[in-house]
C-alpha cells in the first residue's frame, strides 16, 4: 500500500494510529496481513518503526549452520531460482530464498546499485525475521504462512520503506513450512498490474520448487497425479498425493492442499479421499471419483522410484508458465542476422581452441553468459564442464572459498571434508566469471596466481592442484576505468584481455524481428498452440528501446504468452511499462553535474540525514531540500 507523499513521521503516525485503533480518515487502510503484522510488531515484538540499525547479517560460519541442513533442498530449488532470476533481473529485482528462520540462504541478482542493496540487507546471511525487522516480505510471509506483497510503506520500519517485496511460502509434503521465496526491488513501480505479474512469477516458481521437492521426498512412495481429464494426464497435473504401501496418505503437494482445502489428509486412508485403492490403480490412467463428491479425476500412478533412477534435479516440474527452453543456443543462432554478432562469431571460431582468455562486454541481458556457453559448446572442451560464477552475486566473504575451495578443517565452521571450489569443478572445461569487475582485490590476486601457475591451492591447504581451464569473463563495467581507479588489478586485466568481444544492445541490433520471433518460439516451446503477435504488437516490440535487452524481451514475451487470450498477443498483453533498468547506461542519479555530485557527497557523509547535512552547510533543511530537488538528488531509499 502506498501512502503518497509519505514522510517518515507520517509513516510512523499512520502505523501508531492503526495499532491504537484510531486511523486518520485520510490514511489509506493497510490490508489485513499488513495490519495484523503492524500490530504484532508493536504489541508483541515491541519494535519501534523509527529505529535505524544496520542489517543483521550472519557471519559465514553462522550462515553455514543455516545452509548445511537444507543443502539438498537448495540443490533442488536452484534451477527454479535461476529461472525466476532470468525473468525478473532486468526489472531490477533480486531473488532471495530464506529459510524458515528468515535467514537469506540464497540470493541471485547482480547488483548495479550494490551499496544500496547491501544496506537494505538483500544479501546472503541477512536475517529478515519479523520479530527483528518488523513487517517485511520474508518475515511477514513466514509469520503468517501466506504469500504477501509488501510495497514500500507497508513495511514497518522506516528504513525498509524503499523496498518492494513479493514473497511466497514454500511448504513440504506434510505441510511443514520450509522456506520463503522472495523477489525484492528498490525501484519497483507502484503499478498494480506490474506487481501482480511479478507476484504471479513468484507464486509459480514457489509451486515449482515445492513440486520438485515433493517428488524428491516421496520417491520411495507411490504418487497419484490427479488431472482434470484423461487428455490432461501427464501434461497438467492439478494435485499430487503420496501414499505408503498400506494405502495411507503420507504427503500432498500444493495443488492437493488447495483442492482439499481445510482437510488434513496426512494419515488418512486413500479410499477416504478417492474411491479407489492402490491395487485397483493400474500403471495407466484411471478415471476415479473423489470420495463424497460427483467430481472425477484422471489419475496416473507413479510407482516408488527407489529401484529406479532418481529424478533429475533439473527435471522440470509442473508450472503454470510455459516450459522454458532447456537447449542452449549455439553461436550461429545467438548471432542471428546481425552483422556485428556474425563478425564476433567468425572471430571466435578462428580462436575457439586456442584457450585465449575471452573478455566480454555489453550491457546487462545482451546474452554474455549465453554466448560464453555457446563458445564452450563449440570448443573441444564441450564434453567437459562449463561452470559459471557471478562475482557480484556472492558476498565478499564467501567469494574466495567458492572459487578456490577450501581444505579439510580450513576454518571454524568449514565442512569437515573441505570443499572443491568452482575452479576445480571446471577443470578440463570452461570457467565463466560473470561481473568480474566486482571481484574483490584479494580474490583478484589469488586468481592471477592461479592463471599464471595453472594450479590452485585451496584455502587453508598446502598442496597445489594442477588445473586446465579456458577462462571467459564478462563485465558491464568499464574495466579500463576500474584499472585506472585502482579497483581492478592491471596485471589481471591484461591476462584476461585476450580476445575482446562487446555484445551489442538489443536496440542496436539489426535483426530485432528475428530475435522477437525466436523469443516467441522459445517461450512457447512445448505448448500445443503458439500465440501470434498482432501487427501492432509486433511494431511495439520492434520500436521499444529495451533497456533490459534480450532478457527483458524474453520476459515481456513470456508474460504476453501467459496472459493473452484467443491465441493473439495484442499491445495490451505486452507489459512494456517496466521501470528503466539501472544498468550501465542509466546513471544511479539522474543528475551528474558538479553541484549534484557535491550535494550527494555531503549527504552521503551524513548518511543521507538531511538535517545533519543542512547543519554542516549552514542552511535550513528546506533550503537543502529545494537544492536537492533542483539538482535531482534523491535519497537512495526514495529512488
Contact letters for ligand ATP, residues 552-581 (x by CB under 6 A): --x---------------------------
SS (H, E, C) 184-225: EECCCCCCHHHHHHHHHHHHHHHHHHHHHHHHHHCCCCEEEE
> Rounded to the nearest 10 degrees, how much is the dihedral formed by the CA atoms of 36, 38, 39, 42?
160
Residue of closest CB approach to ligand ATP: 367
Residue 318 as a binder of ligand ATP (CB under 6 A): the answer is no
Residue 438 engages ligand ATP in binding (rule: CB under 6 A)? no
According to the binding rule CB under 6 A, does residue 107 interact with ligand ATP?
Answer: no
Alpha helices in 279-421 (DSSP H): 331-335, 339-351, 368-378, 396-404
Which of 207, 302, 368, 470 is close enough to bind ligand ATP by CB under 6 A? 368
- Tell me the site size for ligand ATP, rule CB under 6 A: 24
All three cell numbers of 441, joined, read 582485490
Q: Is 86 in the site for ligand ATP (CB under 6 A)?
A: yes
CB of 3 to ligand ATP, least distance (A): 33
Identify the burial level of 487 via C-beta atoms within 10 angstroms of its C-beta, where 0-12 means exposed, 13-18 middle and 19 or more buried: middle
Distance CA 87, CA 552 (A): 7
Q: Are 259 and 278 in contact (CB under 8 A)?
A: no
Among 99, 154, 182, 369, binds ligand ATP (CB under 6 A): 369
* Angle of CA points 36, 37, 38, to nearest 5°: 95
466 CB-side CA count, 13 A: 2
- Binds ligand ATP by CB under 6 A, chosen from 329, 358, 426, 456: 329
Choosing from 110, 218, 237, 444, the residue that interacts with ligand ATP (CB under 6 A) is: 110
The answer to whether residue 344 forms part of the interface with ligand ATP (CB under 6 A) is no
Answer yes or no whether residue 85 interacts with ligand ATP by CB under 6 A.
no
Instruction: Answer whether 522's CB lies under 8 Å from 370's CB.
Output: no
Q: Which stretch binds ligand ATP (CB under 6 A): 7-15, 63-71, 133-141, 512-520?
A: 512-520
DSSP 3-state assignment of 149? strand
Stretch that binds ligand ATP, among 12-20, 291-299, 363-371, 450-458 (CB under 6 A): 363-371
CB 373 to ligand ATP: min, Å: 8
Going from the C-alpha of 273 to that of each of 48, 266, 280, the distances in angstroms are: 48, 11, 15
Q: Which of 159, 476, 489, 558 binds ligand ATP (CB under 6 A)?
A: 476
Residue with cell 516440474: 317
Rounded distance, CA 214 to CA 82, Å? 19
Closer to ligand ATP by Cβ: residue 157 or 519: 519
Min dist. Cβ of residue 432 to ligand ATP (A): 9
298: left (phi over 0), alpha (psi -120 to 50) or beta: beta
- If binding is defined by CB under 6 A, does position 109 make contact with ligand ATP? no
Should residue 367 be labelled a site residue for ligand ATP when binding is judged by CB under 6 A?
yes
Of residues 521 through 540, those in contact with ligand ATP by CB under 6 A are 522
Determine the interface stretch with ligand ATP among 67-75, 204-212, 511-519, 620-628 (rule: CB under 6 A): 511-519
Binders of ligand ATP among 227-286, rule CB under 6 A? none
Least Cβ distance, residue 253 to ligand ATP (angstroms): 27
Nearest to 505 by CA among 553, 575, 539, 537: 553
The C-alpha cell at 579 is 521501470
Q: Is residue 370 near ligand ATP by the rule CB under 6 A?
A: yes
| Residue closer to ligand ATP (CB basis): 198 or 223 | 198
Q: Judged by CB under 6 A, which of 96, 97, 273, 334 binds ligand ATP? A: 334
Q: Does 434 bind ligand ATP (CB under 6 A)?
A: yes
Segment lying near ligand ATP (by CB under 6 A), choices 12-20, 410-418, 518-526, 620-628: 518-526
Q: How many other C-beta atoms lie within 10 A of the C-beta of residue 372?
A: 24
Helix-strand-coil percent breakdown of the chain, rounded to 5?
40, 15, 40
The span of 266-274, 378-386, 514-522, 524-532 binding ligand ATP (CB under 6 A) equals: 514-522
518 binds ligand ATP (CB under 6 A): yes
Contact 102, 128 (CB under 8 A): yes
Q: Diameter of the chain by CA atoms?
A: 85
In whole angstroms, how close is the CB of 437 to ligand ATP at the nearest point? 11
The span from the CA of 620 to the CA of 614, in Å, is 6
Sole residue written with cell 529545494? 626
Cell numbers 520500519: residue: 157
Binding test (CB under 6 A) with ligand ATP, winner from 66, 207, 381, 551: 551
Q: Which residues in this chain contact ligand ATP in the complex, by CB under 6 A? A: 86, 89, 110, 329, 334, 336, 362, 364-370, 434, 474, 476, 515, 518-519, 522, 550-551, 554
Amino acid at each position: 500500500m502506498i501512502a503518497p507523499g509519505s514522510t517518515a513521521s507520517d509513516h510512523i503516525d499512520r502505523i501508531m494510529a492503526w495499532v491504537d485503533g484510531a486511523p486518520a480518515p485520510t490514511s489509506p487502510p493497510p490490508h489485513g496481513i499488513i495490519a495484523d503484522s503492524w500490530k504484532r510488531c508493536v504489541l508483541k515484538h515491541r519494535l519501534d518503526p523509527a529505529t535505524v540499525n544496520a542489517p543483521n547479517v550472519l557471519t559465514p560460519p553462522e550462515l553455514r549452520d543455516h545452509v548445511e541442513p537444507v543443502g539438498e533442498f537448495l540443490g533442488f530449488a536452484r534451477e527454479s531460482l535461476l529461472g525466476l532470476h532470468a525473468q525478473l533481473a532486468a526489472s531490477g529485482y533480486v531473488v532471495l530464498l530464506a529459510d524458515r528462520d528468515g535467514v537469506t540462504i540464497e540470493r541471485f541478482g547482480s547488483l548495479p546499485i550494490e551499496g544500496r542493496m547491501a544496506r537494505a540487507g538483500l544479501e546472503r546471511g541477512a536475517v529478515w525475521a519479523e520479530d527483528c525487522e518488523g513487517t517485511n516480505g520474508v518475515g511477514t510471509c513466514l509469520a503468517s504462512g501466506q504469500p504477501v506483497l509488501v510495497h514500500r510503506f507497508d513495511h514497518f520500519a522506516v528504513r525498509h520503506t524503499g523496498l518492494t517485496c513479493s514473497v511466497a511460502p514454500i511448504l513440504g509434503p506434510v505441510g511443514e513450512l520450509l522456506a520463503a521465496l522472495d523477489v525484492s526491488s528498490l525501484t519497483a513501480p507502484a503499478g498494480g498490474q506490474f506487481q501482480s505479474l511479478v507476484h504471479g512469477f513468484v507464486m509459480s516458481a514457489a509451486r515449482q520448487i515445492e513440486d520438485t521437492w515433493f517428488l524428491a521426498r516421496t520417491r520411495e512412495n507411490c504418487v497419484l497425479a490427479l488431472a482434470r481429464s484423461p487428455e490432461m494426464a501427464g501434461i497438467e497435473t492439478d494435485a499430487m498425493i503420496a501414499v505408503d504401501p498400506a494405502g495411507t496418505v503420507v504427503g500432498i503437494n500444493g495443488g492437493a492442499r488447495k483442492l482439499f482445502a481445510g482437510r488434513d489428509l496426512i494419515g488418512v486412508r486413500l479410499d477416504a479421499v478417492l474411491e479407489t485403492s492402490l491395487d485397483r490403480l493400474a500403471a495407466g490412467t484411471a478415471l476415479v471419483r473423489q470420495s463424497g463428491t460427483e467430481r472425477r479425476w484422471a489419475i496416473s500412478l507413479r510407482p516408488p522410484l527407489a529401484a529406479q533412477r532418481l529424478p533429475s534435479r533439473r527435471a522440470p516440474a509442473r508450472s503454470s508458465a510455459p516450459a522454458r527452453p532447456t537447449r542452449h543456443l549455439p553461436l550461429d543462432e545467438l548471432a542471428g542476422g546481425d552483422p556485428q554478432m556474425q563478425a564476433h562469431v567468425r572471430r571466435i571460431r578462428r580462436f575457439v581452441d586456442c584457450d585465449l582468455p575471452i573478455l566480454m562486454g555489453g550491457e546487462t541481458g545482451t546474452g554474455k553468459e549465453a554466448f560464453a556457453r555457446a563458445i564452450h559448446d563449440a570448443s573441444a572442451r564441450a564434453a567437459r564442464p562449463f561452470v559459471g560464477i557471478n562475482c557480484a552475486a556472492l558476498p565478499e566473504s564467501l567469494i574466495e572459498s567458492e572459487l578456490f575451495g577450501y581444505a579439510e578443517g580450513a576454518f571454524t565452521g568449514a565442512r569437515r571434508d573441505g570443499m572443491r571450489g568452482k575452479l576445480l569443478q571446471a577443470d578440463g572445461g570452461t570457467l565463466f566469471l560473470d561481473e568480474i569487475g566486482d571481484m574483490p582485490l584479494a580474490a583478484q590476486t589469488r586468481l592471477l596466481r592461479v592463471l599464471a601457475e595453472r594450479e590452485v591451492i585451496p584455502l587453508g591447504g598446502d598442496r597445489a592442484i594442477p588445473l586446465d581451464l579456458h577462462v571467459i569473463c564478462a563485465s558491464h563495467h568499464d574495466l579500463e576505468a576500474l584499472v585506472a581507479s585502482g579497483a581492478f588489478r592491471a596485471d589481471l586485466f591484461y591476462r584476461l584481455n585476450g580476445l575482446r568481444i562487446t555484445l551489442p544492445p538489443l536496440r542496436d541490433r539489426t535483426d530485432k524481428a528475428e530475435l522477437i520471433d525466436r523469443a516467441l518460439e522459445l517461450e512457447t516451446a512445448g505448448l500445443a498452440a503458439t500465440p501470434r503477435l498482432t501487427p501492432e504488437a509486433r511494431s511495439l516490440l520492434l520500436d521499444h528501446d529495451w533497456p533490459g535487452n534480450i532478457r527483458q524481451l524474453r520476459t515481456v514475451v513470456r508474460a504476453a504468452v501467459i496472459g493473452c487470450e484467443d491465441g493473439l498477443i495484442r499491445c495490451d498483453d505486452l507489459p512494456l511499462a517496466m521501470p528503466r533498468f539501472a544498468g550501465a547506461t542509466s546513471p544511479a542519479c539522474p543528475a551528474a553535474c558538479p553541484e549534484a555530485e557535491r550535494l550527494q557527497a555531503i549527504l552521503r557523509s551524513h548518511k543521507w540525514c538531511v538535517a545533519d547535512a543542512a547543519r554542516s552547510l549552514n542552511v535550513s533543511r528546506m533550503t537543502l531540500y529545494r537544492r536537492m530537488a533542483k539538482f535531482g538528488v534523491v535519497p537512495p531509499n526514495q529512488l
